[in-house]
Structure 1
Amino acid sequence: MSSDDFDSHLRKLMAWHFGDATGSPFWLGKRATLGFDPVSDVQGAADLLRFPDISSELRSVPAGQLIPQGLADRPFRVYDSGGTTGAPKRIVDSGYRSRLLEWAHGRLVARGVPATGNWLHLGPSGPHVIGFDVSRYAALGNGIFYTVDLDPRWVKRLIGSGRPEQAEEYVQHLLDQAETILRSQDVAVLSTTPPLLEAICAREELYELVLAKVRAIIWAGTSISAESLRLVEEVFFPGTAVAGIYGNSLMGVAPQRERLDGDEYPCVFEAFPETTLLELVDESGEQVGYGERGRVRLHLVAEEMFLPNILERDSAVRIAPTTPGGPDGLADVQTFATIDDVAVIEGVY
């Protein structure tokens, strides 16, 4: 989608989210406090900076207030963020996420992930959206969806309260369950997090099972260093397709794009261009240049959710688009150690 197409989409959605008959109670209630008219004054992506960052309000606003009145006849689900920077933030979803995941699945297949086959998800399920995401990928390929549930908040609490040995015991409990599945079941794709992938590699029998049976590995949920990614791809799983996904409950997913000759970084993420604009900005809020590191700023403009001007917990390197007018890429995503004086504990997700 070109910038002109995105601006046209934005203007249409402003009329939707701030229309008396279609907008959500949350945004209609904010309309009078904005100091501008979103319908007439927001004409392009640059105008999204006029909105306040409302992400903290998503920790406490009743979820029903987020549902656009124009979609009130649809069933909705609520998904939580991981709670890395405090109480979890909540979003609502009816059908948008499924459409986004169809696009993302195509990107993963282009990276070598089997188009069909069974999936094992070693990671969180509800209330975190990633469990739904992975189940949708499996369904798109008519595959069976196996799960090993994970409570990332409990791991964060154990680490934050100085009980790393109990966190490690919990990790081994997760790996026990994954090993039981892999011993008897056919699994083509493993979806997990970098810390759990590292733990798999350190456990010989489980590692051998993954190496022998799994044809693709999807990693997401936490950052990974370039050296760790190299080891995963070249040393531990050289014959396995490996693909990363950057994302969260608020922004959706930005899967790794295909590697190109001349790429400086081994993994470059691109967001869904129809609805999602990711910018990398400096401390003053100005966009950084290509090849420079900045903090991730999110604008999500979808029919079900409108989330403008959201500063994320991560930084990344800005990568030039692969096609004229295409989305910027993000590389070397790293999570800040603290956000607003709150220590960030990644844990295993």
Structure 2
Amino acid sequence: MTSDFDSHVRATVAWHFDPDTGSPFWLGKRAALDFDPVRDVRTAADLTRFPDVSEELRTVPVTDLIPRGLRERPFRVFESGGTTGAPKRIVVGEARGRMLGWARDRLMDLGVPAAGHWLHLGPSGPHVVGADVARHAAMGGGIFHTVDFDPRWVKRLVGSGRGDLADEYVGHLLEQAETVLRSQDISVLNTTPPVLEAICARPELHELVRGRVKAVLWGGMSAGQETIRLLEEEFFPQATVAGVYGNSLMGVAPQRPARPGDTHRCVFQAHPATTLVRLVDDGGHEVAYGERGRVLLHLVTEEMFLPNVLERDTAIRVAPAPGSTTDGLADIRTVRSLGQAEIVEGVY
């Protein structure tokens, strides 16, 4: 990580622990820390000294998360998917928009059209991804189309053994999507691998997507190498197919363009200005390139400071592309259980 990011870490930590600008959440924790965050946190490596506070995001009053220095800025509240328990909440002002602007440029590098209308077959409501996709569409002057999509209900159905009802629900989603696709000019389809598989299993709907959509973006759940190959080469050869990794806490990490020597079809890259992702072993040590490790996240913005968050995913560490200092992430997989909780996935 560069010295610029180290400077960003020092400035952001000082902001969050200044009584005039910091949030009640972090200011209330300063006395319990066994170090002085302003004096002792000098580099990105020092972020591991902080505790992982992400579990507290399930219950903390969201007003405590808003920095005092940004009280005049409008904020929205978004929730995680609730896969591992009660949802975690974040506050979003302007910082995520800057991240999305950077991600949009990366997607255009892959061939996603700069303009056009979007169809989002994924969560909206309290989930930040819906707002993210809406902003992507608006940045290119496009219209944002979506359908009602409740991933928590699908997870409940799957977890209780009612997979037939989950399949019926997916069919309901696809019927709504088909209505939009038949009547509207859609350039970009954004959805999840399971929904794409369901689309491909319906010949008429599949041909409708192939005939109209210029880019297919997938995310929200992992996809194996063979699934990605099939999407790119067999099911949607006419379109740009690209993945976006991310979640409420970390933001978005779009797929980067392929490089000579890549052994993975899809390599993700996190936002280098605010997001540091390390892949670590069970002892917390960073794994070597080509090795699999658990995702350790540090989000460092003036709005949200989330250091040392151990995520529920693992990935393979990939060396930075030429001209970059940011590691790539490949072959994302979800840990099947955390503590006493078994992780149930449905369509997101």
**How much does 1:260 deviate?**
0.9
Alignment of 1:197-212 (within 5 A): 197-212=196-211
TM-score by length of 1: 0.99
Aligned to 2:300: 301
Tell me, in whole angstroms, the C-alpha distance in 1 between the residues paired with 2:133 and 2:73.
23
**How much does 1:7 deviate?**
0.3
Letter in 1 for 2:19: D
Tell me, in whole angstroms, the C-alpha distance in 2 between the residues paired with 1:37 and 1:119.
47
**How much does 1:326 deviate?**
1.0
**How much does 1:324 deviate?**
5.6
Aligned to 2:146: 147
Aligned to 1:172: 171
Tell me, in whole angstroms, the C-alpha distance in 2 between the residues paired with 1:189 and 1:325.
28
Could you list the structure 1 runs, at least 4 aligned residues long, displaced by more than 2 angstroms after superposition.
none
Alignment of 1:263-282 (within 5 A): 263-282=262-281
Once the two structures are aligned, what percentage of the paired residues are identical? 65
Letter in 2 for 1:145: F
Letter in 1 for 2:117: N
Aligned to 2:97: 98
Q: Please state whether the residue corresponding to 1:39 is helix, strand or coil.
A: helix
Tell me, in whole angstroms, the C-alpha distance in 2 between the residues paired with 1:40 and 1:324.
32
Aligned to 1:222: 221
Letter in 1 for 2:326: P
Q: Please state whether the residue corresponding to 2:259 is helix, strand or coil.
A: coil
Aligned to 1:70: 69
Instruction: Tell me how many residue pairs correspond in the alignment.
Output: 348
Tell me, in whole angstroms, the C-alpha distance in 2 between the residues paired with 1:273 and 1:289.
20
Aligned to 2:157: 158
Aligned to 2:243: 244
Residue pair 1:3, 1:325 contacting (<8 A) in 2 also: no
Tell me, in whole angstroms, the C-alpha distance in 2 between the residues paired with 1:225 and 1:270.
17
**How much does 1:161 deviate?**
0.7
**How much does 1:111 deviate?**
0.6
Tell me, in whole angstroms, the C-alpha distance in 1 between the residues paired with 2:31 and 2:175.
55
Tell me, in whole angstroms, the C-alpha distance in 1 between the residues paired with 2:225 and 2:148.
28
Tell me, in whole angstroms, the C-alpha distance in 2 between the residues paired with 1:248 and 1:149.
19
Letter in 2 for 1:250: L
Q: Please state whether the residue corresponding to 1:188 is helix, strand or coil.
A: strand
Letter in 2 for 1:232: L
Are 1:31 and 2:30 matched, yes or no?
A: yes
Letter in 2 for 1:300: L
Tell me, in whole angstroms, the C-alpha distance in 2 between the residues paired with 1:120 and 1:130.
13
Tell me, in whole angstroms, the C-alpha distance in 2 between the residues paired with 1:257 and 1:324.
13
Tell me, in whole angstroms, the C-alpha distance in 1 between the residues paired with 2:123 and 2:52.
27
Tell me, in whole angstroms, the C-alpha distance in 2 between the residues paired with 1:323 and 1:273.
14
**How much does 1:325 deviate?**
5.8
Tell me, in whole angstroms, the C-alpha distance in 2 between the residues paired with 1:15 and 1:66.
16
Aligned to 1:289: 288
**How much does 1:72 deviate?**
0.5
**How much does 1:239 deviate?**
1.7
**How much does 1:231 deviate?**
0.6
Alignment of 1:187-202 (within 5 A): 187-202=186-201
Tell me, in whole angstroms, the C-alpha distance in 2 between the residues paired with 1:207 and 1:283.
42
Letter in 1 for 2:315: A
Aligned to 1:258: 257
Letter in 2 for 1:290: Y
Aligned to 2:15: 16
Tell me, in whole angstroms, the C-alpha distance in 1 between the residues paired with 2:238 and 2:173.
25
Tell me, in whole angstroms, the C-alpha distance in 2 between the residues paired with 1:147 and 1:207.
18
Q: Please state whether the residue corresponding to 2:186 is helix, strand or coil.
A: coil
**How much does 1:341 deviate?**
2.4
Tell me, in whole angstroms, the C-alpha distance in 2 between the residues paired with 1:323 and 1:66.
37
Give the CA RMSD over aligned residues.
0.8
Q: Deviations over 1:145-202 (max 9, x none)?
A: 1111210000000000110000000000000000011111100000000000000000
Aligned to 2:80: 81
Are 1:129 and 2:160 matched, yes or no?
A: no
Are 1:117 and 2:110 matched, yes or no?
A: no
Tell me, in whole angstroms, the C-alpha distance in 2 between the residues paired with 1:348 and 1:211.
21
Aligned to 1:6: 5
Aligned to 2:321: 322
**How much does 1:8 deviate?**
0.4
**How much does 1:323 deviate?**
3.2
Tell me, in whole angstroms, the C-alpha distance in 2 between the residues paired with 1:266 and 1:278.
20
TM-score by length of 2: 0.99
Q: Deviations over 1:87-135 (max 9, x none)?
A: 1100001111111100000000101100000000011112000001100
Alignment of 1:44-55 (within 5 A): 44-55=43-54
